A and B are shown apart, each in its own frame.
Chain A
Amino acid sequence: MRTTALPAAEATRPRTVVVGALLATGAVFMAFAALVAMYVQQRQTARAAGQEWFPEGSVELGPAGMMMMTLVLSMVTVQWAVQAARDEDRPHGFIALGVTLMFGAAVINQFWFVYQDTAFAIDGGRAELLFYAVTGAFIAMLIGGMAMLTVTTIRSLMGPFGRDLAHGVQAAGFYWHMCVLCYFLVWYVVFITK
């Protein structure tokens, strides 16, 4: 039996992976939105009681803005990867996925700097605890997104960068956009309005 005589895999339902990823992404967003809601509620309670939330000047806006810019750029590179997958353009696909992963790593690195800069102790109080809970959850979500993109990359290495794979990249891209939206919430709620 020659392998060239083997039947090709039958056409699959192209939207299955995207629909599954969409539902899972919605669930992850709900968890994060609830975390942010708790954060805002506690801050509101503290302020209503006349208490300080973060010490003045302890949370800098500069690094947070850089992270926002980086993640906005990563939204473009993710879409670049999705389009490259649709066009079966392997070099562009790999470059786009690689740059996106680099952006993700850069954001994690920047968060490490923020943690060092603020020097909060997790048992310092409600503000510190919720600061770590919200940002830590975001970092975990971002790592999950990077893992999804990495898996997509591995799969792309296994065969042609075809339409079947394009839906996997599209699903990962959808999740990535949601992560950026979540960071926007962090940026506005934690860093801007402090």
Chain B
Amino acid sequence: MTLTEPAIADSEAAPGAGGATAPEPSDEAAAAPSILAQPFVTSDAAAVGRLFVLTSLLLAVGTSVVGVLLSLGRTEAVAPWDLFGGFNAYFRMWTLYRMSFMLLVVMPLLLGVALAVVPTQVGAGNVAFPRAALASFWSWLIGAVIIVVSVLAGGGWGAIDGVTGNESDAMALTLLGTGMVIVALMLGAVTVATTVISSRQTGMSLLDVPPFSWSMLVAAAVWLFTLPVAIANLVVIYADLRGRPAIAFGRAESPDIWLQLDWLVEQPAVYIMAVPVLGIAVEAVGAAVGARSSRPEAITVIVGLFGLLAVGGWSQDYFTAPQDLRDGLVYVAFGLAAVLPLVALAGGAAELVLRGTKTPDRLLDVRMMGAGAALKLLGAAALVGALRVIEPLDLLETTATWAVFHGVVVAGLIAGVVALRNWSHELQISPLSVVVGRGAVALLLGGGGLLVLSDLISGFLADAPDLMALALDGSAALNVVALAGSVLVAAGAAAAAVGAVSALRTPVPAGEAA
């Protein structure tokens, strides 16, 4: 009581005695915010989580459509730059596709799931900083809008073919939007990590938290270790861009801006999106077959190890000779070692299946299918990543880079679909429809698999480094395969988004929401 005494010193009198009295809660004051006001004022982390999930799935549809157009440009039916109206426009979309899938789709999707699920898993009623969670969503959304609008207005992360008019301003806006999105994601990560560390119920040690919460703690730590380095890059690029005409890096009239940031979507940093996928997969498999791991501490170590191998930021080669870094022992070791925790986790998942109930309906459960698909794609991505760092294969600066990227982002999308099915109560929505769930998982697995495969083989076929696959070196069939993969991913993302919207619209049965 001592905390309020100075503020209400005049309220000692009884009600009606003429003095200022403590208020009784009025009906209006006690009323919950209306459904229209809720997204703007809510302090319920589950509501913020739903906002993140829904918005990121809608952005997934848009991003994957851009991916379809980019793949169409590789089919030689039309020159890629003609399809978008110029070389710069193509480059803008090419970079937007990558940045958007990472910062506007997969990371916020998994963060949204975490905001809703983690508090309930650790026995807290809410996240540690509910208002920070709300600020995180809105800052992310506003940053995303700034990015998309500025890219469409001629901005983006650099240009190849010169800059005209106000494109430099638009580029500056893209950089600021990117910074805003990254800071917002870090704010959400701090909220989730603090919830796991500091809001656990009595008697629950960190070793006792469920795999998803542990994976989110690891992911948040890795995000907080890696994303700030990108902020540092953005500070230098922005100062350079606005201080022009200046110096030899970060000029708008070159892809230098992108080259300072591309480490974010390449290995090892690209794996930072995948850390929560491990937790989701283990829990989904366990829930589907009704089993618990006999060695939960092993899962803890595996997820932690994968998180360690996902830390990037140190692996940027723009300011130094690429061969010094990319042929270095640490880079190669990180690339090769990333396969190990995934193999171990697959073993853990297999153990769950062996210990659980293996009826057909359980094995065909959306969660089971999705977890398997996500782990397969992630494993494929890590395997390609391991091949990529083997110097004699010459895959470093080829489309094999994007095979890793595609494997990781599509695995992240599938994990989001699994989460919608597995944690509908925590998200306070109806369970994702089985048909939609299976369809989305199948489409995403098929599409992701085709993209990984076509990018890897294109990498092997490339005669020279060609990250943008512009050489059109005659691998026409592969480019058609990539197009088919992009279309399937877009269809899968659309199915997931439609499923999420319809689950949101369906009222949660009374008693289940709790």
A and B touch in the complex (CB under 8 A): yes
Interface set of A (CB-CB < 8 Å, partner B)? 1-4, 6, 8-9, 13, 15-16, 19-20, 23-24, 26-32, 34-35, 38, 41-42, 45, 122-126, 129-130, 132-133, 136-137, 158-160, 162, 164
Q: Pull 19 A–B residue pairs with CB atoms less than 8 Å apart, ordered by A.
A: A2-B12, A13-B199, A16-B128, A19-B193, A19-B194, A20-B128, A23-B194, A24-B224, A27-B225, A30-B226, A34-B229, A34-B313, A38-B236, A45-B320, A123-B246, A125-B246, A129-B239, A160-B2, A162-B2
B residues in contact with A35, CB < 8 Å: 232, 235-236
Contact between A34 and B233, CB atoms less than 8 A apart: yes
List B residues 182-233 near A (Cβ within 8 Å): 186, 189-191, 193-194, 197-199, 220-221, 224-229, 231-233
Contact between A6 and B22, CB atoms less than 8 A apart: yes
Determine which of A23, A32, A133 lies in contact with B224 in the assembled complex, contact meaning CB atoms within 8 Å.
A23
Asked, given contacts A26-B224, A31-B229, A35-B235, whether A162 binds B3 with beta carbons under 8 Å apart, the answer is yes
The reply on B21 being an interface residue by CB < 8 A is: yes
- Give 10 nearest A-B pairs by CB, closest first: A31-B228, A34-B232, A30-B228, A122-B243, A123-B246, A34-B229, A3-B22, A27-B224, A20-B194, A35-B232
B residues in contact with A6, CB < 8 Å: 1, 4, 22
Asked, given contacts A24-B190, A123-B243, whether A3 binds B4 with beta carbons under 8 Å apart, the answer is yes
Give the residue name and chain of the A residue nearest to B24 (CB).
Answer: A1
The reply on B245 being an interface residue by CB < 8 A is: yes
B residues in contact with A136, CB < 8 Å: 239
Asked, given contacts A34-B229, A41-B319, A160-B2, whether A137 binds B235 with beta carbons under 8 Å apart, the answer is yes
Q: How far is the CA of A31 from the CA of B247 in the complex (A)?
A: 22
Asked, given contacts A4-B12, A136-B239, A158-B7, whether A27 binds B194 with beta carbons under 8 Å apart, the answer is no
Contact between B240 and A129, CB atoms less than 8 A apart: yes
Q: How extensive is the interface on chain B, given as a class?
A: 35 or more
Q: Which of A20, A26, A125, A130 has the most CB atoms of chain B within a 10 A radius of its CB?
A: A20
Q: How far is the CA of A29 from the CA of B313 in the complex (A)?
A: 13
Determine which of B6, B225, B313 lies in contact with A159 in the assembled complex, contact meaning CB atoms within 8 Å.
B6
The reply on B32 being an interface residue by CB < 8 A is: no
Contact between B248 and A126, CB atoms less than 8 A apart: yes
Contact between A19 and B197, CB atoms less than 8 A apart: yes
Determine which of B5, B24, B197, B247 lies in contact with A125 in the assembled complex, contact meaning CB atoms within 8 Å.
B247
CB distance from B240 to the nearest CB of A (A): 6
The reply on B244 being an interface residue by CB < 8 A is: yes
Give the residue name and chain of the B residue nearest to A36 (CB).
Answer: B232
Q: How far is the CA of A16 from the CA of B130 in the complex (A)?
A: 12
Task: Apart from A19-B193, A123-B246, list 4 A-B contacts with CB within 8 A.
Answer: A3-B8, A23-B221, A31-B235, A133-B235
Q: How far is the CA of A57 from the CA of B416 in the complex (A)?
A: 58
Asked, given contacts A2-B14, A34-B313, A122-B239, whether A159 binds B7 with beta carbons under 8 Å apart, the answer is yes
Contact between B236 and A130, CB atoms less than 8 A apart: yes
* Binary A-proximity of B280-321 (CB < 8 A = 1, otherwise 0): 000000000000000000000000000000000100000110
The reply on B15 being an interface residue by CB < 8 A is: yes
Asked, given contacts A1-B15, A20-B129, A24-B190, whether A164 binds B3 with beta carbons under 8 Å apart, the answer is yes
The reply on B11 being an interface residue by CB < 8 A is: yes
Q: Which of B1, B236, B319 has the most CB atoms of chain A within a 10 A radius of its CB?
A: B236
Q: How far is the CA of A122 from the CA of B244 in the complex (A)?
A: 8
A residues in contact with B249, CB < 8 Å: 126
Interface set of B (CB-CB < 8 Å, partner A)? 1-8, 11-15, 21-22, 24, 128-129, 132, 186, 189-191, 193-194, 197-199, 220-221, 224-229, 231-233, 235-236, 239-240, 243-249, 313, 319-320
Q: Which of B199, B220, B235, B320 has the most CB atoms of chain A within a 10 A radius of its CB?
A: B235
Determine which of B3, B186, B191, B232 lies in contact with A38 in the assembled complex, contact meaning CB atoms within 8 Å.
B232
Contact between A19 and B198, CB atoms less than 8 A apart: yes
Give the residue name and chain of the A residue nearest to B129 (CB).
Answer: A20
Contact between B244 and A27, CB atoms less than 8 A apart: no
Q: How far is the CA of A164 from the CA of B13 in the complex (A)?
A: 28
Q: How far is the CA of A4 from the CA of B88 in the complex (A)?
A: 68
Contact between A27 and B129, CB atoms less than 8 A apart: no
Contact between A16 and B194, CB atoms less than 8 A apart: yes
A residues in contact with B3, CB < 8 Å: 8-9, 159-160, 162, 164
Q: Which of A9, A123, A132 has the most CB atoms of chain B within a 10 A radius of its CB?
A: A123
Contact between B22 and A16, CB atoms less than 8 A apart: no
Asked, given contacts A158-B7, A159-B7, whether A30 binds B224 with beta carbons under 8 Å apart, the answer is yes
CB distance from A55 to the nearest CB of B (A): 16
Determine which of A1, A24, A30, A162 lies in contact with B229 in the assembled complex, contact meaning CB atoms within 8 Å.
A30
Q: How far is the CA of A123 from the CA of B245 in the complex (A)?
A: 6
Contact between A133 and B4, CB atoms less than 8 A apart: no
Contact between B12 and A123, CB atoms less than 8 A apart: no
Q: How far is the CA of A29 from the CA of B224 in the complex (A)?
A: 10
Q: How far is the CA of A100 from the CA of B270 in the complex (A)?
A: 41
Q: How far is the CA of A27 from the CA of B223 in the complex (A)?
A: 9
Q: How far is the CA of A42 from the CA of B247 in the complex (A)?
A: 12
A residues in contact with B11, CB < 8 Å: 2-3
B residues in contact with A164, CB < 8 Å: 3
CB distance from B101 to the nearest CB of A (A): 23
Give the residue name and chain of the A residue nearest to B14 (CB).
Answer: A2
Q: How far is the CA of A133 from the CA of B235 in the complex (A)?
A: 7
B residues in contact with A15, CB < 8 Å: 198
CB distance from B266 to the nearest CB of A (A): 17
Give the residue name and chain of the B residue nearest to A31 (CB).
Answer: B228
Q: Which of B21, B193, B232 has the most CB atoms of chain A within a 10 A radius of its CB?
A: B232
B residues in contact with A159, CB < 8 Å: 2-4, 6-7
Q: How far is the CA of A117 from the CA of B224 in the complex (A)?
A: 36
Q: How far is the CA of A61 from the CA of B25 in the complex (A)?
A: 62
